[in-house]
Amino acid sequence: MRDDAALIALLRKVAGRDEPALRALYDLTAPKLYGVILRIQRDRSRAEDILQDAYLRIWQAAGSYSPEAGPPLPWLCAIARHRAIDVVRRRGEVQGPVHEDGEDWLERLADPSDSEQAILSRDALRACLARLDAAHRDCVVLAYCQGYSREDLAQRFGRPVNTIKTWLHRALASLKGCLETVS
C-alpha cells in the first residue's frame, strides 16, 4: 500500500472526478485512515461516518495535493485526522482516557508499519515534549492529540482561555526549536 506513485496517480484521477479512482483510493487507504480516526473518535459508528466525510473532502480537495509537498498518505491522514478532531470539538466530547491511567498517548499513535524515520521522529518528539513544563505538555497533548478545545483546556486547568492560548503558542514554539536542533 505504500506505493506513493500509485497513490499519486489515483489522486490525480480523483482530481479529474474519476469515481472508479476514488473507489480504488478508498480500497487502498481506508484501513489506515479509519485507524487514524479511531484514535480520536472511539465510537466506531461515528468513526465510519467521519471516514466517509473524509473521503468526500478528499474528493473535493484532490486537485490541491502536490507531490512536491510530500508523500500522499500523510496528506490523506491529515484530512482524516482534522475531520475527526472537528467532529469531536463540535460535539464537545472527551474521547477516552487521557493519561491519568498511565497510557502513553504517543505509543497509541504508533503504527507497526511505521518507517525507521517515523520512529526516530517520534522519539525526537518524545524527547522534546519531556523538556516542556508538565502543564504545558499536557495542554499540547490534549489539544492536538485528543481534540480538546481552548475552552475545555481552560476549564480543565482552571486558567483563562487567553492563558491557554499563550501556553500552547509558547509550547509549540519551544517544540519547533527543539525539533530543529534534534533533526
For residue range 7-19, list pLDDT tens digits in order. 999 999 999 999 9
CB 76 within 8 A of CB 36: no
Q: What per-residue confidence (pLDDT) applies to 120?
A: 52
Check which CATH number belongs to the domain holding 24 and give it.
Answer: 1.10.1740.10
CB 47 within 8 A of CB 37: yes
Q: Which of 66, 91, 116 is the last residue of a domain?
A: 91
Q: Which of 84, 75, 68 is nearest to 36 (CA)?
A: 84
Residues 10 and 86 in one domain: yes
Range 14-29 average pLDDT? 94
Cell of 171: 509550547
Q: Which of 67, 91, 115 is the last residue of a domain?
A: 91
CB 126 within 8 A of CB 106: yes
Domain count, the chain: 2
The model's pLDDT over 120-142, given as tens digits with 9 standing for 90+, comes to 566 677 778 888 888 898 888 88
